[in-house]
Amino acid sequence: MEETKPRSSAIGLLSECVGKKIRVIVKDNFGYEGVLSAVSDSPPSLFLSDADAVVVRTTIADPVPRVVSKERRSSIFVNLDTVLRIEIPDH
């Protein structure tokens, strides 16, 4: 009988969000925004469709990161080892 490895909690949470729009930040002020299409645990990664490359900025007066520019991309593969933060909107 083959033993199954338990999925990490992050992969499990992301799997529940397939089909929803998310923002993935990979550097301090750069990331991607798109519809989560697939999640993989080997290698730990995700696939975004209908995606945009985004630049986010914060200021002392407004510490919440805001998107200041977007560049259209079709689809993006993101290795989770490079991700700093994943934002999943409530709506």
The pTM of this model reads 0.81
Count of C-beta atoms within a 10 Å radius of residue 75? 13
Instruction: Grade residue 19 by pLDDT with cuts at 50, 70 and 90.
Output: very high
CATH class of 12-87: mainly beta
Domain residue ranges of the chain, discontinuous segments joined by +: 12-87
For residue 89, which amino acid is it? Answer: P
Average pLDDT along the chain: 88
For residue 5, which amino acid is it? Answer: K
Instruction: Grade residue 9 by pLDDT with cuts at 50, 70 and 90.
Output: confident
Side-chain-side CA neighbours of residue 18 (13 Å): 11
Alpha helix locations (H) across 2-47? 9-15
Specify whether the CB–CB gap between 74 and 88 falls below 8 A: no
